[in-house]
Structure formats: structure tokens, C-alpha cells
Amino acid sequence: MEYTKEEMMIITASRLLQNGEVCFVGIGLPSTACNLARLTHAPDIVLIYESGTIDTKPHLLPLSIGDDILAETASTVVSVPEIFNYWLQGGKVDVGFLGGAQIDKFGNINSTVIGPYKKPKVRLPGAGGAPEIASNAKNTFVIMKHNIRAFVEKVDFITSAGYLNGGDERRKMGIPGEGPQCIITDMGILRPNPESKEFELTSIHPGISIQEIKDNTGWDLKISENLAVTEVPSLEYLHVLRDLQYRTSIAHTHSQK
């Protein structure tokens, strides 16, 4: 069965999640990947959104963290201070799943501004809970489309900390979480070098060339000696993903009428 680059990215990301994990979910691509995992191989994954919904099981993809479908299908709903103070800062979140507008070679994420902060070319939606998630989740996964504007040598503004300037700087700064473990894109998977913490290409999606990935990366991307080829999406995952997106599209179209 044919599949798109975006489907490849979402399904690859979903497969990295383990059943039973507690996952703090960002809206958009992270939410799609996490709910796909819940509907396939990880039925007992615990999804948390920053609005305070815990163990939510939406049958449609939410439009925002305030979408009522999250509260309606959650096991419980707590206050925003509690979700951050008790769950996130308390070390109870296994994976924080984020996106962003820019990311650099050390996994720092920018969702604040493009250009100088005081006179930006573009002012973006901002931080939300992403800085706290990136700092306090035991591990962080990032999902983003791979292009030269998004994958930069150095982000214009650090909204959510990765490994800062690399090496052990994150640890020296006292940031508790382990940091970003992978960046899943529509071209491949990048993981940090154990020593330098610079992200390297460790898996390439079928039909994509190394040169194509390098051309869409704003730093001199290193290639792992053990470069793998990403597993193609199965019919099951494609069916579940497309059904989820179709039902979401229909429901949201009707709600706007």
C-alpha cells in the first residue's frame, strides 16, 4: 500500500512509544502519534495533556489542549498546577512528546520567534508547557517535518531546552530530565551522540537519500556508522491512522456548520 511522508513520520513516531508509559502530549503531530500508539500496540499508554486531563482516550484528535473531548474521555481531570507540580515535576512522566518551529543540532526547540526577539520576522504561538515538559520529563521525543528552515545550526530562541551547547551542559545546568532522545522526521530518525549530544542520522526512511536529508539540514549532519533503514508502515497502522484522521476531519467539519 502506498503511504505519504507524513504517514511514515507519524507511524514511525508512534512505534517508539511503549505500552504502559506515561506520556505528556503536545497538540498536533505529537498528539496524532501518541493516539495512534494507543489504538494499536500500546492500549495501556497513559496520555496526559497540560489542561489537566489524565489517561484520556479521545476517539477523535483534539483541536487544542482545551478540547472537551479530552476531559470527556479522561480517567480524571486535575488542575493545571497539579499536572505540572505533582505529575511532571514529580518525575512521573516517562516521555514528553513535542513539536516546534525550529530545532538545532543539540535538540534545542524554538516555538517563540523567528529572527531577533525584539524585532522578529515572525512571532510564533509561544511556549505553553513545552519548556517544563522538555526539562522535567524523563525523556523527550520530538516530531517535526524535515526542512532547511526548521533544522538549523542554532535556533533563534531557545523555548525548550535540549542539550544547550552540547556535551554535559544540560546536566551542569541542573535540568532534571535526560533530554531529547530522538527527532522523528518525514525523512528519518536523528539521535544524539552519547558524548557531544549533537544529533546524528541513525535511521533513514525508504525512498529517501542521505544527500536529500543533508540538503534539508542546516548543519553538517553526521551519519551513524550503523545507519538503519526505517521499517515501512504496516497496513494495520495505515488503516488505523487514516480512519482516525478521517473521523476527526468529518466531526470537526460538521461542528463548524
Q: What's the grid cell of residue 139?
A: 525523556
Find the Cα–Cα–Cα–Cα dihedral 224, 29, 76, 15, rounded to 10°: -40
Find the Cα–Cα–Cα–Cα dihedral 74, 78, 79, 81, rounded to 10°: -110
Give, in order, the Cα–Cα distances in Å from 132 to each of 6, 32, 84: 27, 21, 8
Question: Residue 195 catalytic?
Answer: no
Choosing from 7, 21, 50, 198, the catalytic residue is 50
Is the separation of the CB atoms in 131 and 157 below 8 Å?
no
Residue identified by cell 512528546 is 97
Residue identified by cell 481531570 is 77
Give the catalytic positions in this structure. Answer: 50
